[in-house]
Amino acid sequence: GGKRGCAASAFSEQYYAETRQHRYMTASANALRSLLHGSSLLPKRDEDRSSPADDAFYAAASATPQVHGSAEEMIVLAAKTAERELGLPMSGRGPVADSCLVATARETRRAAREAFAAASR
């Protein structure tokens, strides 16, 4: 067979269930699969690629769920950490963090969740 590249199968549910069992990567692949359904941008099979430029494009595209999934995971983790840390007393520095900062951290986390949920539809 041809090289494993970014044919439509690169975003397949089975591929991510078997090899990429990371929540955010899977969500990104699901969103891409849904968005690209019926598209002529990606070949249906690896063998349908016709040039080295196609190979480079499809290889880059197939990494999208890994990049987007990792970015989403880091944003969610940063928001959770900020919310948790801003809600704790400052060690040796007086009272708890300003309630405005805590509210901002919570709002950022909520907005990030909504943005990624919208992108996954």
Q: For residue 53, which amino acid is it?
A: A
CB 29 within 8 A of CB 11: yes
- Beta-carbon contacts of residue 74 (< 8 Å; ≥ 6 apart): none
Q: What is the pLDDT along the chain (121 residues), one digit of tens a residue?
A: 344 444 556 777 877 778 777 888 888 888 888 887 777 766 655 555 566 766 777 777 788 888 888 898 898 888 888 877 776 555 545 455 566 666 777 787 788 778 777 776 6
pTM above 0.85, yes or no: no
Going 33 to 36 to 37 to 42, the CA torsion angle's sign is: negative
Residue with tokens 């940063």: 78
CB 82 within 8 A of CB 108: yes
CA atoms of 73 and 90, how far apart (whole Å) = 26
